[in-house]
């Protein structure tokens, strides 16, 4: 479909990215600069944690399309303006990033202006810079137009269900669910939020339900005597939201792998799109199945009509339960989507770092599946999820990464 000066495509990426020459030392790295600026801006603006991945995806996809409009070495994500040459990829990405963030966090204009002016001051005032700026402006304008009604700022009312298996507000705060909007946001690489919707939690009469119930009741309890100290350390490492881990890891890998600007833009666009779509797909399923959390299920274990599940009205999880439905696990969805996308881009012995922002502890992984397996275990050990929710969430993330690898950011 053709629109004003742009071409929309739905194609995509090679498994690995060949490294190219470095950006000249005299020029800045606008991909890293704007990603860090975005992190500071969304925090300063008070943007909800589960809204920020949408901003990061839009930002990085715009910078990818802007740089790619100059290099023309890959299929565009969405926007492909005709760019007169010579044109600067640095200028294009700089302008696109600036305009996206101004639209997303306008209250932070002063801070964003400071970053923009510093970036612009490092560029020569040449026709190459002027043409790059025009390309970045065109990409940002069109991409924002296309996302104008994507639901990212919608207020979606949510009424919890009732009865056996239905999610209700959980202790200690008994806060209402406030993130239903995410289930209806237009995805970035999926056909719809429900494209990878799983089959649902195991039936209450099944052996899987009994296993899931007994496992989290025993190992995920706050005062569990069966959970080992090593298990507790792993659980607590993965307690913070996925959004506190993966943006920093994505930026760090782009730097450590010494990617040039085009390769960095491509990698980070794919990784942040995977992250956002992992959450969108997960929230679609969460608010479709509206499933109860372990703290509710175990305290009301005598209501599931299964004599094998024994209720404990005083049961408490190791961690505080988030205020939205349980199935599937959001952390597992997002982590699997990002980790497998990273592995697809760097298939040759890359070390994937993860850092707990609360403790400062770092862990390092050679395989995406090792990260995913640890998160699957950890979220159960925290008492927040049944194993089925973690495993099904991880499968959603794997499917998203697989589709990105096969369909998006493909060589032109």
Q: Measure CA 284 to chain center.
A: 14
Q: Residue 255 half-sphere exposure, CB side, CA atoms within 13 Å?
A: 15
Angle formed by the axes of helices 127-146 and 52-71, nearest 10°: 140
* Cα–Cα separations (whole angstroms), residue 336 to 29, 79, 243, 279: 28, 28, 13, 11
* pLDDT, tens digit (0-9, with 9 covering 90-100), for 328-353: 999 999 999 999 999 999 988 799 99
What the block records as the tokens of 292 is 């109860």
What the block records as the tokens of 71 is 């290099």
For residues 164 and 411, give the distance between their C-alpha atoms in angstroms, rounded to a whole number: 51
pLDDT for 140 equals: 98
Please give the torsion angle defined by the CA atoms of residues 267, 268, 272 and 277, in that order, rounded to the nearest 10 degrees: -20
Mean pLDDT within 48-60: 97
pLDDT for 26 equals: 56
Residue 89 has pLDDT above 90, yes or no: yes
Q: Measure CA 405 to chain center.
A: 16
What the block records as the tokens of 267 is 């990698």
Write the DSSP string, 290-339: -BPPHHHHHHTGGGSS-TTSPP-TT--BSSPPPSS--SS-HHHHHHHHHH
Residue 13 has pLDDT above 50, yes or no: no
**How would residue 160 be classed by pLDDT, with cut points 50, 70 and 90?**
confident
Phi, then psi, of 170 in degrees rounded to 5: -115, 155
Q: What is the CATH number of domain 180-407?
A: 1.10.606.20
For residues 273 and 78, give the distance between their C-alpha atoms in angstroms, rounded to a whole number: 13
Residue 230 has pLDDT above 70, yes or no: yes
The pTM (predicted TM-score) of the whole model is 0.92
Q: 14-28, 39-53, 105-119, 257-271: lowest mean pLDDT where?
A: 14-28
* Maximum alpha-carbon separation in the chain: 77
Burial string for 175-195 (b: 16+ CB within 10 Å, else e) reads eebebbbbbbbebbbbeebeb
Cβ pair 202, 238 in contact under 8 A: no
What the block records as the tokens of 403 is 């589709």
Q: Which CATH architecture has domain 2-146?
A: Up-down Bundle (1.20)
Residue 18 has pLDDT above 60, yes or no: no
Mean pLDDT within 67-95: 97
- Between 411 and 229, whose confidence is greater? 229
pLDDT for 221 equals: 98
pLDDT for 159 equals: 83
Phi, then psi, of 9 in degrees rounded to 5: -130, 155
Mean pLDDT within 311-336: 98
DSSP 8-state code for residue 7: E
Q: 21-30, 86-95, 249-258: lowest mean pLDDT where?
A: 21-30
Residue 392 has pLDDT above 60, yes or no: yes
CA proximity to 60, closest of 245, 244, 259, 261: 261
For residues 195 and 192, give the distance between their C-alpha atoms in angstroms, rounded to a whole number: 5
Delimit the CATH 1.20.144 region(s) of the chain. 2-146
Question: Omega of the bond prior to 83 within 30 degrees of 0, cis?
Answer: no
The CB density around residue 253, as the number of other CB atoms within 10 Å, is 21
Delimit the CATH 1.10.606.20 region(s) of the chain. 180-407
β partners of residue 355? 362
pLDDT for 24 equals: 42
Q: 128-142, 149-163, 229-243, 287-301: lowest mean pLDDT where?
A: 149-163
Cβ pair 22, 234 in contact under 8 A: no
For the chain, give the percent of residues with pLDDT over 90.
90
């Amino acid at each position: 479909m053709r629109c004003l000066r742009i071409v929309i495509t739905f194609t995509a990426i090679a498994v690995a990215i060949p490294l190219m020459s470095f950006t000249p030392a005299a020029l800045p790295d606008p991909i890293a600069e704007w990603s860090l600026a975005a992190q500071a801006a969304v925090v300063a603006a008070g943007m909800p944690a589960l809204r920020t991945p949408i901003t990061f995806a839009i930002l990085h996809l715009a910078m990818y399309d802007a740089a790619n409009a100059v290099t023309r070495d890959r299929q565009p994500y969405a926007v492909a303006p005709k760019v007169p040459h010579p044109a600067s990829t640095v200028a294009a990405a700089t302008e696109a990033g600036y305009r996206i963030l101004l639209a997303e966090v306008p209250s932070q204009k002063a801070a964003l202006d400071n970053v923009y002016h510093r970036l612009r001051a490092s560029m020569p005032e040449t026709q190459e810079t002027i043409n790059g700026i025009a390309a970045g402006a065109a990409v940002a304008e069109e991409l924002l137009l296309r996302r104008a009604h994507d639901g990212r700022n919608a207020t979606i009312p949510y009424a919890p269900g009732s009865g056996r298996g239905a999610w209700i507000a959980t202790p200690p705060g008994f806060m209402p669910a406030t993130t239903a909007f995410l289930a209806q946001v237009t995805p970035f690489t999926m056909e719809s939020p429900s494209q990878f919707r799983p089959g649902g939690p195991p039936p209450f009469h099944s052996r899987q339900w009994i296993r899931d119930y007994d496992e989290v009741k025993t190992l995920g309890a706050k005062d569990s005597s069966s959970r080992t100290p090593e298990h507790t350390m792993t659980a607590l490492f993965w307690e913070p939201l996925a959004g506190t881990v993966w943006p920093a890891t994505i930026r760090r890998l782009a730097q450590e792998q010494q990617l040039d600007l085009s390769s960095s833009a491509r990698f980070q666009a794919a990784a942040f799109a995977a992250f956002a779509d992992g959450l969108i797909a997960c929230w679609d399923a969460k608010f479709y199945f509206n499933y109860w959390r372990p703290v509710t299920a175990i305290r009301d274990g005598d209501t599931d009509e299964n004599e094998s599940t024994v209720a404990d009205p005083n049961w408490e999880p190791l961690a505080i339960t988030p205020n939205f439905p349980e199935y599937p696990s959001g952390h597992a969805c997002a982590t699997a989507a990002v980790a497998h996308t990273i592995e697809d881009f760097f298939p040759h012995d890359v070390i994937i770092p993860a850092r707990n922002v609360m403790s400062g502890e770092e862990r390092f992984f050679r395989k995406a599946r090792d990260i995913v397996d640890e998160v699957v275990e950890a979220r159960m050990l925290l008492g927040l999820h049944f194993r089925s929710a973690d495993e099904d969430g991880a499968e959603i993330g794997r499917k998203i990464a697989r589709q990105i690898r096969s369909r998006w950011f493909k060589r032109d």
